[in-house]
Amino acid sequence: MSVQHKRRFAEVLFLFIFLILLEAQPLWAETLPLPREGEPWLYAQDLSFQPDDELNLRCLGQSYPEIQGLERRSDGLWLVLVGGLRVLYAGERVGRDYYDVDVRTSMAQPYVCEPERPETPAGYAPGRRRSYDLLHALYGHNAASVARSLQHVRALGQNWTFAPKAAEAFRRAAMVLEGKVAVHPELRPWLKSSGTFSWRRIAGQTVLSAHSFGIAFDIGVGRGATYWRWSALTRHPLQQTFSPDIVLAFEDEGFIWGGKWHEFDLMHFEYRPELICKAKRRHSQQTPRPASVPQARW
């Protein structure tokens, strides 16, 4: 082999090794910060993104300051949390329960706030499919770790127990409702608690209840608020008549209501501020957009 051939062979070999090394790297593993309120959207719109992703990520950033950024790897888009923990935002998850999904899927069905009470056809249950990876990352990985951060709230004449962010939100809603009850005392029996924190699986399912994370509470059982497994699964009268004052006060502070699900859970409220943020921004169509075409960073 001539010197020239040897040099050519070495060049091709080098190029081959370089390409293999390039392929082995995670795709765009740089972590980019989530856009905060008023900041422009700087991510390039490409095939990784779907139309709702900008709104989803803005609402996730607004709702959970623990989520610091987004990272794209070969197996999907990942939320990066304080401490470096990663939660799958969008990507394939094999062997998981139907109700245990990536974050994008957990936000896919539009929740609709008061005064709307949309129809609830089979399959419509916004918020009922959850990212358990995100719930564990935010609130704790087992009963003991969730319980360590729980706060006790005295409100509406009763004791309640919540994770810190849900506790703050519940206190604010309860203050509004105290004012309502003063004018409409008939509301008070509807606000009687039937439970807050409880580490348990959902009846008939393998996934954990939202009560396991200190983000849910049940009210109004004595007034007829019921659960689809206890009743015929036809539209329940309370899905239209449950007090709008109560539902509105909790929605305004980031709680979704199980009365808006096909598999209705009329007593159940759950702190899911990302879904309420998305519902309100969709409704007002005031999603902030940059005035000029942003420069792509990915």
Rounded alpha-carbon distances, angstroms, from residue 142 to 108, 146, 153, 226: 27, 6, 22, 28
Q: For Zn ion, how many residues bind (rule: CB under 5 A)?
A: 3
Q: Helix, strand or coil for residue 238?
A: helix
Q: Which is nearer to Zn ion, 105 or 226 (CB)?
A: 226
Minimum Å gap between C-beta 76 and Zn ion is 31
- Of 53-61, 157-165, 182-190, 209-217, the segment contacting Zn ion by CB under 5 A is 209-217
- Of 6-14, 41-49, 210-218, 276-284, the segment contacting Zn ion by CB under 5 A is 210-218
Distance CA 295, CA 280 (A): 28
Rounded alpha-carbon distances, angstroms, from residue 41 to 17, 44, 217, 294: 37, 9, 35, 7
Asked if 212 is part of the footprint of Zn ion (rule: CB under 5 A), the reply reads no
Q: Which is nearer to Zn ion, 72 or 268 (CB)?
A: 268
Which residue is closest to Zn ion by CB? Answer: 268
Q: Which is nearer to Zn ion, 248 or 267 (CB)?
A: 267
Q: Which is nearer to Zn ion, 57 or 216 (CB)?
A: 216
Q: Which helix (H) or strand (E) element contains residue 73?
A: strand 67-73
Asked if 125 is part of the footprint of Zn ion (rule: CB under 5 A), the reply reads no
Asked if 251 is part of the footprint of Zn ion (rule: CB under 5 A), the reply reads no
Q: Which is nearer to Zn ion, 49 or 111 (CB)?
A: 111
Asked if 102 is part of the footprint of Zn ion (rule: CB under 5 A), the reply reads no
Please identify which residue in 268, 275, 276, 279 interacts with Zn ion, judged by CB under 5 A.
268
β-strand 255-257 against 216-219: which pairing, if any?
unpaired
Structure tokens at 252: 């305004």
Distance CA 155, CA 149 (A): 19
Minimum Å gap between C-beta 264 and Zn ion is 12
Q: Considering only CA atoms, which of 128, 56, 123, 121 is closest in space to residue 97?
A: 128
Q: Are 192 and 220 in contact (CB under 8 A)?
A: yes
Please identify which residue in 71, 218, 251, 253 interacts with Zn ion, judged by CB under 5 A.
218
- Residues of this chain that interact with Zn ion (CB under 5 A) are 216, 218, 268
